[in-house]
């Protein structure tokens, strides 16, 4: 058996960032050897479920992509190798599929390149925009609610606004330091700068939609 099979550095579809480093599951992925014969007419999902049952402390399932419901294999299939390597091989059969183990269990999902690269700000803000927009537009109340949520998540204007949007606010703050605008909520409630916030929200929404087309 090639020692690389048990090394997560060689799991091409494993999302290490989403798997807690101190999780007990990491040990199971590395140390559990799988050897099973899946029956005829099984699907990749069936095989994943059988693989997990072979772990001593069984790894639960949090979410599996519907893509794993096919194809249906007309003949039985032999599966052997380290648990993590077996899961990685299955994920490799689908474009852009990743897998990871959260505190709730195994996840296998199709993750577009855009989704893999989207920033935390664009993901949070984009999702909020999609949920609150009507006919493709955000009302004043929606913009204010989103701004408050952004502030609660500790995102800052200077880091998240685009340079052209941040520049007039920065200039204002230099002139009026005692009335400096430091939060998204403050910028939203200022008639001079609310447009800057709106533009940033719409930009985040567009990136979110590109990353998650089904949203």
Q: What is the pTM assigned to this prediction?
A: 0.60
Q: Give the pLDDT of residue 8.
A: 57
Q: Give the pLDDT of residue 6.
A: 44
Q: Give the pLDDT of residue 9.
A: 58
Segments of the chain with pLDDT less than 50: 1-6
Report in angstroms the alpha-carbon separations of 153 from 129, 131, 150, 208. Answer: 15, 17, 5, 17
Instruction: Please list the alpha-helical segments (H only) found in the chain.
Output: 24-31, 44-53, 83-91, 113-117, 120-132, 140-152, 157-160, 163-175, 184-188, 194-211
Q: Give the pLDDT of residue 30.
A: 83
Domain residue limits, the chain: 3-111, 117-211
């Amino acid at each position: 058996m090639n020692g690389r099979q048990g090394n997560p550095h060689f799991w091409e579809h494993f999302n290490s960032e989403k798997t807690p480093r101190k999780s007990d599951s990491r040990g199971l992925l590395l140390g559990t050897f799988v050897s099973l014969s899946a029956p005829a007419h099984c699907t990749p999902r069936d095989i994943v479920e059988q693989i997990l049952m072979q772990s001593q402390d069984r790894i639960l399932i949090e979410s599996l992509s519907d893509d794993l419901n096919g194809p249906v294999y007309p003949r039985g299939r032999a599966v052997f190798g380290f648990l993590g390597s077996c899961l990685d091989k299955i994920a490799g059969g689908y474009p852009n599929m990743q897998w990871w183990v959260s505190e709730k269990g195994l996840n296998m999902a199709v993750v577009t390149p855009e989704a893999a690269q989207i920033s935390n700000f664009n993901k949070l803000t984009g999702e909020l925009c999609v949920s609150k927009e009507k006919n493709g537009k955000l009302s004043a109340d929606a913009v204010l609610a989103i701004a408050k949520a952004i502030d609660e998540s500790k995102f800052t204007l200077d880091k998240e606004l685009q340079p052209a949007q941040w520049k007039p606010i920065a200039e204002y703050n230099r002139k009026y330091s005692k009335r400096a605008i430091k939060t998204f909520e403050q910028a939203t409630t200022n008639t001079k700068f609310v447009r800057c916030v709106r533009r940033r929200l719409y930009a985040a929404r567009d990136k979110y939609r590109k990353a998650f087309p089904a949203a």
